[in-house]
C-alpha cells in the first residue's frame, strides 16, 4: 500500500504548498521529501502525451541497499490492457507502483512507458501521465469541490458531476446541506474511509490520465458499493492502461493478466483461468479467500 505519513506541523506547509503550486495529488509525495530522491536529468524532455504501455525489464530494487525488495521483475502491460498485481503483504506490490511513479529509481533494469525510459523524462510530465487512486487518501481542510478539483483546477461543473457519478458520490454530496460547498477535514465534515476513497476516485477521473494505478482502490467500501464502483472503473479505464494492486481477488478476475509476487519475485503470471488451472500459489490464495468469505 502507498502510505502517507505527514508530521502534524508539516500539514499547514504541505497544504499551502499544494494550493500554491501543485497540479495533482501525487506531487504531495515529492513535497514531503526533504531531499528529493530522484532528480530530473539535465534537459530532460517531457514524456510524449501519446506514450502508452508499460514495461518492467529485469527490475531489481532495494530501498536502502541492503535488503532486496524486488528481484528481476519483468512484465509488459500493452496499451489499454489491465494488469493486476497480487501477493502477500510485503511482497513488493506497492513498490512497483512507486517505481513506476518514480518516487525512487530502480537499482537495476529499466521501466519504460511507450518505449521511453522513465529516467529520461521530467518527473512532472511522468506524474501528469499517471493517475493514482491510493489506499489512503489525504483530504484538505477545504470544500468538497476544492478537494475534488485541485488536481484539475479548470474542471467544469459538468465534468465534476460526471466524475462524482462514476465514483458514486452524487447521492452523498446531494444529501449534504451545502452540497459541493461543504467543508471537510479537521474543521469540517468528517468523512468515512469509503467516502474518502470515492473522492479519490472522482479526483483521479477528473485528471483524465493516460495510465491508471488503483492501489486497493476500493478496499474501504462495502461489497455492494465496491462492485458498483468496480463496474464503473472498468468502463472508465476501458481503453486505459491500468495497474491494479489488489488483495481481494474477486475484484481482478477480469484483468488481462495477473502477476503473483512473492518476496519481490514474480512466481506466477497469467489470466485468472490459467492461474486457477495451475493449482499453484494463486489457486491457494483464491481458495483461502473463498473459504474466509463463506
Residues contributing to the site for ligand ATP (CB under 6 A)? 1, 63-64, 69, 87, 89-95
| 74: three-class secondary structure by DSSP | strand
Smaller CB separation from ligand ATP, 128 or 218: 218
By DSSP bridging, strand 82-87 and strand 241-245 are: parallel
Nearest approach, Cβ of residue 138 and ligand ATP (Å): 17
Nearest to 75 by CA among 90, 58, 88: 58
Q: How far apart are CA 154 and CA 100, in angstroms?
A: 27
Could you tell me the smallest distance in angstroms from the CB atom of residue 120 to ligand ATP? Answer: 24
**What minimum distance in Å lies between the beta carbon of 89 and ligand ATP?**
3
**Alpha helix (H) residue ranges in 154-270:** 157-166, 170-174, 193-207, 223-236
| Cβ distance to ligand ATP smaller for residue 87 or 131 | 87
161-164 contacts at long range (C-beta below 8 A, 24 or more positions apart): 163/202, 163/203, 163/205, 163/206, 164/202
Residues in the chain: 294
Shortest CB 63 distance to ligand ATP, Å: 3
Nearer to ligand ATP, 116 or 267 (CB): 267
Specify the residue, 66 or 273, whose C-beta has the smaller distance to ligand ATP. Answer: 66
What distance in Å separates the CA atoms of residue 212 and residue 215, rounded to the nearest whole number?
A: 10
Q: How far is the CB of 75 from ligand ATP (least distance, A)?
A: 15
Q: Which three cell numbers stand for residue 189?
A: 465534515
Q: Which is closer to ligand ATP, CB of 55 or CB of 248?
A: 248
Amino acid at each position: 500500500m502507498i502510505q502517507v505519513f505527514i508530521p502534524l506541523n508539516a500539514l499547514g506547509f504541505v497544504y499551502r504548498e499544494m494550493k500554491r503550486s501543485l497540479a495533482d495529488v501525487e506531487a504531495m509525495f515529492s513535497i514531503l521529501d526533504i531531499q528529493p530522491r530522484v532528480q530530473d536529468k539535465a534537459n530532460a524532455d517531457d514524456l510524449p502525451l501519446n506514450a502508452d504501455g508499460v514495461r518492467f525489464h529485469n527490475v531489481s530494487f532495494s530501498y536502502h541497499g541492503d535488503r532486496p525488495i524486488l528481484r528481476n521483475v519483468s512484465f509488459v502491460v500493452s496499451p489499454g490492457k489491465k494488469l493486476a498485481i497480487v501477493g502477500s503483504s510485503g511482497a513488493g506490490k506497492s513498490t512497483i507502483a512507486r517505481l513506476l511513479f518514480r518516487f525512487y529509481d530502480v537499482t537495476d533494469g529499466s521501466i519504460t512507458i511507450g518505449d521511453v525510459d522513465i529516467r529520461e523524462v521530467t518527473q512532472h510530465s511522468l506524474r501528469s501521465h499517471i493517475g493514482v487512486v491510493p489506499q489512503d487518501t489525504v483530504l484538505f481542510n477545504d470544500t468538497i469541490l476544492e478537494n475534488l478539483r485541485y488536481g484539475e483546477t479548470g474542471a467544469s461543473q459538468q465534468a465534476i458531476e460526471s466524475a462524482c457519478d462514476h465514483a458514486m458520490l452524487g447521492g452523498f454530496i446531494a444529501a449534504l446541506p451545502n452540497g459541493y460547498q461543504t467543508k471537510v477535514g479537521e474543521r469540517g465534515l468528517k468523512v468515512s474511509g469509503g467516502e474518502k476513497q470515492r473522492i479519490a476516485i472522482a479526483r483521479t477521473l477528473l485528471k483524465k490520465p493516460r495510465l491508471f494505478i488503483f492501489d486497493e482502490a476500493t478496499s474501504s467500501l462495502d461489497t455492494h458499493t465496491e462492485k458498483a464502483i468496480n463496474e464503473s472503473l472498468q468502463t472508465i479505464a476501458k481503453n486505459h492502461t491500468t495497474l491494479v494492486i489488489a488483495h481481494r481477488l474477486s475484484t481482478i478476475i477480469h484483468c488481462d493478466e495477473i502477476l503473483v509476487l512473492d518476496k519481490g519475485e514474480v512466481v506466477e503470471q497469467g489470466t485468472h483461468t490459467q492461474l486457477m488451472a495451475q493449482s499453484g500459489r494463486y489457486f491457494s490464495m483464491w481458495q483461502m479467500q473463498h473459504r474466509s468469505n463463506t
